[in-house]
A and B are shown apart, each in its own frame.
Chain A
């Protein structure tokens, strides 16, 4: 079986598990929808203010929502022994881990990207700004999954790992937040979002190469 076959088998497995455990999948999506909807309700209908806070609020909400499901990324596989089998497989662990991260993004990241324009309407964002928001999230949410995977692997099997993973990953999320929210802000103020989006894409490229490697190293330590 070639590398692509293994990767797709891992992704398919994790998606299948997520599909049969719907409540866990929907939690992060509903969290995102509710948090993003609370702000317009709380602040009222001051369009100028809403437009101004929209990029930051939507991005912070997406960031927290993506983090909610991080604990489960490896914890279940660790508990039932699957992670041991992955580590002992002749297939490189990095490949299997990449598959798991990809599946995590498809379950916890992609739905946020798809629902974001709808939530953006509540903040009176222009169609153009909504498009930039979607592109920034499309580049940013995989980055969140990749960085989060390192944190999840490092806190695997640690008591109180849930809080620890937030403390560990939230600071690392800051660049993604700055460039992601910055892209939308720049577009609204007419500066053009290309610069911010390029930097976000560069960060994503960097993470695609290094995050699975760092995650693999952390998992091997956790399994010892």
Chain B
């Protein structure tokens, strides 16, 4: 369970939001909306622990995330605006090294299988710079398939994806939530995840 109380964020001399709070239970997800510049990405970066909040507190299973450290980082998978792919490495190498840096051993066979399920079969050996934006996003999203984290925090995961990939991601999210996972995501398009509890959190600019 993730609880946020009284969060505030200041960027420069602008107060993006204050007094923000929510509780996220297993099996539920938060749909974070708001105009451009309303602080969605800032909020997500605070929630994963990359940036400190101006005020307020975030608790994971009852303990403050700053104190949990590695334990919280193990529980969260974050996907930001950037895909965290190396242009020089192939899709397979990107997936394997990405997992290794999170301390998870992913062999080439398993990586190929995961790439197949995100619709990149036959592109495993292609350097990432030859992939299209949507394909790069798919490789980045394949990280969700090896992740063992209960909490997924995704910043605009649907950007650049085609209809089939959007459906795949919605189904993956539905599976994750059905298994007791949690998710927080931002998107500018309508997101439908079947059979799940959704909370909408709207940031006013």
- Residue ranges of A at the interface with B (Cβ–Cβ < 8 Å): 1, 5-6, 9-10, 12-13, 16-17, 20-21, 76, 79-82, 84-92, 96, 223-224
Question: Of residues 36 to 50 in B, which have CB atoms within 8 Å of A's CB atoms?
Answer: 48-50
Decide: A84 and B80 in contact? CB cutoff 8 A: yes
* CB of B34 closer than 8 Å to a CB of A: no
Tell me how many residues of B have a C-beta within 8 Å of chain A. Answer: 32
Q: Contacts A90-B73, A96-B101, A223-B51 given; 9 further ones with Cβ under 8 A?
A: A5-B100, A13-B97, A16-B88, A17-B88, A20-B127, A80-B87, A82-B84, A88-B76, A90-B70
* CB of B203 closer than 8 Å to a CB of A: no
Among the listed A82, A87, A89, A224, which residue makes an inter-chain contact with B86, where contact means beta carbons less than 8 Å apart? A82
In the complex, A17→B82 CA distance in Å?
Answer: 18
In the complex, A88→B84 CA distance in Å?
Answer: 12
Q: How far is the CB of B22 from chain A (nearest CB, A)?
A: 21
A224 / chain B contacts, CB cutoff of 8 Å: 50-52
Among the listed A5, A12, A80, A92, which residue makes an inter-chain contact with B83, where contact means beta carbons less than 8 Å apart? A80
- Residue ranges of B at the interface with A (Cβ–Cβ < 8 Å): 48-52, 70-71, 73-74, 76, 78, 80-89, 93, 96-98, 100-105, 127
Q: A88-B48, A88-B49, A90-B74 are in contact. Are A81 and B100 (CB under 8 A)?
A: no
Among the listed A5, A9, A81, A91, which residue makes an inter-chain contact with B84, where contact means beta carbons less than 8 Å apart? A81
Q: How far is the CB of A14 from chain B (nearest CB, A)?
A: 9
In the complex, A10→B99 CA distance in Å?
Answer: 11
Can you list 23 A-B pairs, Cβ within 8 angstroms, ordered by A? A1-B100, A1-B105, A5-B105, A6-B101, A9-B96, A10-B100, A80-B83, A80-B86, A80-B87, A81-B80, A81-B82, A81-B83, A82-B85, A82-B101, A84-B82, A85-B78, A85-B101, A87-B50, A89-B73, A90-B70, A90-B73, A96-B101, A224-B50
In the complex, A21→B87 CA distance in Å?
Answer: 10
Residue of B nearest to A12 (CB): B97
Q: How far is the CB of B158 from chain A (nearest CB, A)?
A: 17
Residue of B nearest to A21 (CB): B88
In the complex, A90→B127 CA distance in Å?
Answer: 27
A82 / chain B contacts, CB cutoff of 8 Å: 84-86, 101
Decide: A91 and B103 in contact? CB cutoff 8 A: yes
A80 / chain B contacts, CB cutoff of 8 Å: 82-87
Residue of B nearest to A79 (CB): B82
Residue of A nearest to B96 (CB): A9
Decide: B86 and A92 in contact? CB cutoff 8 A: no
Residue of A nearest to B78 (CB): A88
B98 / chain A contacts, CB cutoff of 8 Å: 85
Residue of B nearest to A82 (CB): B84
In the complex, A206→B106 CA distance in Å?
Answer: 35
Decide: B101 and A9 in contact? CB cutoff 8 A: yes
Q: A81-B81, A84-B78, A224-B50 are in contact. Are A90 and B103 (CB under 8 A)?
A: yes
A13 / chain B contacts, CB cutoff of 8 Å: 86, 89, 93, 97, 100-101
Q: How far is the CB of B131 from chain A (nearest CB, A)?
A: 13
Q: A9-B101, A16-B89, A17-B89 are in contact. Are A88 and B83 (CB under 8 A)?
A: no
Q: How far is the CB of A53 from chain B (nearest CB, A)?
A: 40
Decide: B83 and A84 in contact? CB cutoff 8 A: no
Among the listed B96, B103, B105, which residue makes an inter-chain contact with A89, where contact means beta carbons less than 8 Å apart? B103
Residue of B nearest to A220 (CB): B50
Decide: B97 and A9 in contact? CB cutoff 8 A: yes
Q: How far is the CB of A4 from chain B (nearest CB, A)?
A: 12
A96 / chain B contacts, CB cutoff of 8 Å: 101
Decide: A16 and B50 in contact? CB cutoff 8 A: no
Decide: A89 and B102 in contact? CB cutoff 8 A: yes
A86 / chain B contacts, CB cutoff of 8 Å: 101
Q: How far is the CB of A2 from chain B (nearest CB, A)?
A: 9
A5 / chain B contacts, CB cutoff of 8 Å: 100, 105
In the complex, A20→B76 CA distance in Å?
Answer: 32
Decide: A90 and B82 in contact? CB cutoff 8 A: no
